[in-house]
Amino acid sequence: MNIAIIGSGYVGLVTGVCLAHIGHHVVCVDNDREKIKKLNAGKVPIYEPGLEEMILKYRRMKRLVFSGAIAVAVKKADVIFIAVGTPSKHNGDADLTYIENVAAEIARHMDGYKLLVEKSTVPAQTGNRIERTVRLNLSSKKGKPGHPAVEFDVASNPEFLREGSAIEDFMNPDRIVIGVESARAEKLLREVYKPLKARIVVTNLASAEMIKHAANSFLAAKISFINAVAQVCDRVGADVLKVAEGMGYDKRIGRAFLNAGIGYGGSCFPKDVDAFIRLADKSGYDFRLLKSVREVNEQQKASFIHLVEDKLWIIKGKTIAVWGLAFKANTDDMRRAASLDIIRVLQAEGARVQAYDPKAMLNARHELKNVKFCADAYAAVKAADCLLVLTEWDEFLKIDLVKVRGLMRQPVVFDGRNFFDKKVFTDHGFEYYGIGRGDVAQNTTGVMCAKK
Ligand code: NAD
């Protein structure tokens, strides 16, 4: 099939290359000229394992092309996926400006039946608005208000890939959700995904949009739940890792997303939770459960900072080493990474920060001021008064802790991801603090104190 993808970011590029891989002819469009120029020069603007190799392969086979010209892409395509950004507004609403712009632009270039597919994460009922925008823009062009000149359908096909394992997730999905209002749209989308042989859930537009809201918010809730449990673990001397293990074997619960840490970040969970709360508010329902999920997430960062302040005693003038900046491992994505908030607060209190991340430092430079970005993990800990582990990159597991101990001024580690085996650090003479590991117990006065 001929497929156009509008928006060539994390989702658009992965969707494009995977659809080319399963046999379609794909045009990835973006209005960022620099991005298209780079892609056409064989340079991939983001880091995602396996993506570069696949892009090179399918460009060579001419199954994947990059273009700035939406008009040509729309004319050639049977199916058009919209994968532009839907960032948060200040009030938490999803900003759908790019969606509206793209819908109107597609409409202006349509000359035959097209299926428009929402790939971006959008609030329920966006599909209806896209349909209206397309209809209005078609009509105005032809001068026949209310009488679309060409037929089209709008469908929802939310994306569930995770950055860092996006290609694997796209190729082997747990399910593919298709929200449609016509048999024709369903048939076309089934055909697009036929080679994947995946379970397909077919429903109407609004339900498909709701599935994405509900799924992301549920995962965020799982993270906040275990983080809240971790808080209590610290106070009663329990270990959240064992608690999560014991809970996770229960099939009704599952172990995934029960990793206590510094809270969720990234380009999806914070904005999608905000957007769902706003959607519920506007529909007349006060989604207090989700508001608490968000609150616990913010508290988790504050509590980590508090732990560092407490153990480091004086922050002003101290050198703090940071391993990991990206919002999660195996990506260079810094959008709403927890590291940003943590570093900014400690800097404001007078700390010097020296950081290392295997892939995200280029993006981090745009976000953080006065951070010393280091060539490797050893350079980052040089003369440091403590080390914060903020992203769980595998390469940190191979580090020589004897060398690290020798380089640091004070051997104190705050593991914001519970990534390391505590014993390995303590055996090397470090003071180690994880999240909810029972390291911090509460005395009878209610004041947090270090556990002996
Ligand atoms: P992104 O910012 O990486 O990419 C969006 C792209 O759209 C950018 O390259 C931008 O230049 C382009 N764009 C904007 N307006 C355009 C226009 N008028 N014409 C052509 N291109 C235009 O965003 P992303 O991370 O790929 O996310 C895209 C959507 O997918 C969002 O709604 C997001 O919530 C959702 N999503 C993201 C992920 C993820 O892990 N990143 C996972 C699932 C769903």
Structure tokens at 93: 């609403």
Burial of 212 (0-12, 13-18, 19+ CB in 10 A): buried
Residue for token digits 């799982």? 222
Instruction: Report the pLDDT averaged over residues 56-83.
Output: 96
Distance CA 181, CA 423 (A): 57
* pLDDT tens string 150-165: 899 999 999 999 999 9
**Mean pLDDT of the chain, nearest integer:** 94
Cβ of 11 less than 6 Å from ligand 1: yes
Burial letters 145-162, b for 16+ CB under 10 A, else e: eeebeeebbbbbbbbbbe
Cβ-in-10-Å burial (0-12, 13-18, 19+) of 60 comes to exposed
Annotation says 268 is catalytic: yes
* CA 226 – ligand 1 centroid, Å: 30
Quote the ligand 1 centre to 148 CA distance (angstroms): 28
Task: Reduce the secondary structure of 43-76 to three states and give it as a string.
Answer: CCCCCCCCHHHHHHHHHHCCCEEEECCHHHHHHH
For the chain, percent of residues with pLDDT exceeding 70: 94
Side chain identity at residue 124, one-letter code = A
DSSP for 250-281 reads STTT-STT---SS---SSSHHHHHHHHHHHHH
What separation in angstroms does the CA of 264 have from each of 217, 268, 417, 419?
Answer: 11, 9, 11, 15
CB of 315 sitting under 6 A from ligand 1: no
The DSSP H or E segment spanning 304 is: helix 288-312
- In the reported structure, the alpha carbon of residue 133 is separated from the centroid of ligand 1 by a whole-number distance in angstroms of 20
Amino acid at 414: F
CA–centroid distance, residue 32 to ligand 1 (Å): 12
Q: Is 30 in the pocket of ligand 1 (CB under 6 A)?
A: yes
Ligand 1 pocket member 83 (CB < 6 A): yes
C-alpha 121 – ligand 1 centre gap (Å): 9
Q: Give the span between the Cα atoms of 138 and 143, in whole angstroms.
A: 8
> Encoding tokens for residue 119?
């790939």
Q: What is the pLDDT of residue 438?
A: 82
Atom of ligand 1 nearest to the CA of 94: 32
- 10, 15, 72: which to mutate for ligand 1, most atoms within 8 A of CB? 10
Close Cβ partners of 180 (under 8 Å, ≥ 6 residues apart): 153, 155, 156, 186, 189, 202, 204, 205
The per-residue pLDDT for range 10-61, each reduced to its tens digit, is 999 999 999 999 999 999 999 999 999 999 999 999 999 999 999 999 999 9
pLDDT of residue 150: 87
Nearest residue (CA) to ligand 1, atom 27: 85
Probe target for ligand 1 pocket from 6, 84, 157, 274, with the most ligand atoms within 8 Å of CB = 84
Per-residue model confidence (pLDDT) at position 181 = 97
pLDDT in tens, 360-387: 999 999 999 999 999 999 999 999 999 9
> How big is the chain by its Cα radius of gyration, in Å?
24
CB crowding 265-279: b at 16 or more within 10 Å, else e = bbbbbbbbbbbbbbb
Instruction: Answer yes or no: is the C-beta of 101 below 6 A from any ligand 1 atom.
Output: yes
Predicted confidence at residue 452, as pLDDT, reads: 37
The finding on whether 437 has its CB within 6 A of some atom of ligand 1 is no
Predicted confidence at residue 441, as pLDDT, reads 54
Q: Is any atom of ligand 1 closer than 6 Å to the C-beta of 438?
A: no
Distance from Cα 87 to the centre of ligand 1, integer Å: 9
Report whether residue 264 contacts ligand 1, using a CB cutoff of 6 Å.
no
pLDDT at 442 over 50: no
Rounded Cα distance between 44 and 52, Å, is 6
SS3 of 245-258: the string is HHHHCCCCCCCCCC
Assess whether pLDDT exceeds 50 at residue 447: no
Q: Give the closest residue to 260 by CA, choosing from 237, 240, 242, 280.
A: 240
| Separation of CA 98 and ligand 1 centre (Å) | 9
Q: Whose CA is nearest to atom 37 of ligand 1?
A: 11
At residue 145, does pLDDT exceed 70?
no
28 three-class SS: strand
pLDDT digits (tens, 9 = 90+) for 400-420: 999 999 999 999 999 999 999
Q: Select from 8, 11, 31 the residue to mutate for testing ligand 1; criterion: most ligand atoms less than 8 Å from CB.
A: 11
Whose alpha carbon is nearest atom 11 of ligand 1?
A: 32
**Contact predicate 158/211, CB 8 Å:** yes
Structure tokens at 211: 């599935």
The C-alpha atoms of residue 10 and residue 12 are separated, in whole angstroms, by 6
pLDDT attached to residue 141: 52
pLDDT digits (tens, 9 = 90+) for 213-222: 999 999 999 9
Range with lowest mean pLDDT among 101-105, 139-143, 201-205: 139-143
Tell me what the mean pLDDT of segment 196-223 comes to: 97
- Mind listing the pLDDT tens digit for each residue in 282-309? 999 999 999 999 999 999 999 999 999 9
Q: Any idea what DSSP says for residue 163? A: T
Distance 35 CA to ligand 1 centre (A): 13
Atom of ligand 1 lying closest to residue 7 CA: 7
- Whether 179 lines ligand 1, by a CB cut-off of 6 Å, is no
3-state secondary structure of 411: coil
pLDDT tens digits for 77-92? 999 999 999 999 999 9
Does residue 444 register a pLDDT over 50? no
Q: Give pLDDT, residue 146.
A: 55
Atom of ligand 1 nearest to the CA of 11: 26
**Beta carbon of 156 within 6 Å of any ligand 1 atom:** no
Task: Determine the pLDDT at residue 337.
Answer: 97
Distance between CA atoms of residues 43 and 24, nearest Å: 22
Under the banding of pLDDT at 50, 70 and 90, the label for residue 443 is very low
Q: Which of 18, 28, 268, 386 is catalytic?
A: 268
Ligand 1 centroid to Cα of residue 317, in Å, is 40
126 lines ligand 1 (CB under 6 A): no
Contacts by residues 396-401 (CB-CB < 8 Å, ≥ 24 positions apart): 396/323, 396/324, 396/420, 401/425, 401/428, 401/430
